[in-house]
Amino acid sequence: MSKITLYHNPRCSKSRQALALLQENGIEPTQVLYLQTPPDAATLTTLIKQLGLSRAHDLLRSKEPEYAEAGLSPQSSDSEVIAAMVRFPKLIERPLAIRGKRAVIGRPPENVLQLL
């Protein structure tokens, strides 16, 4: 079985809860501190597909100040949204858990258990 990768922000309570749930189930995921090491556009495009999202905007934290700074709106194109997430990784919804070709958004944190 493939390893789980967790796009993680240690300052986020939901992200910490998702990590704890995985660890309680004997899984030590590879942690990607995405604010320090942001994913590139190709990685984000793949993640959006793995998550089964119909558009990139569905992966955004639209209440962050960077959303307005990037000039985004619900009508923004996928390429505009992905470029903004690369520039402002804080806009990426968290946590994200990936195993093989499957991925889930850890909101609620229990969603990560779908990958076990």
User: Looking at 3, 5, 12, 115, which residue is catalytic?
Assistant: 12
The count of other CB atoms within 10 Å of the CB of residue 75 is 7
Q: Among this protein's residues, is 12 annotated catalytic?
A: yes
Active site residues: 12
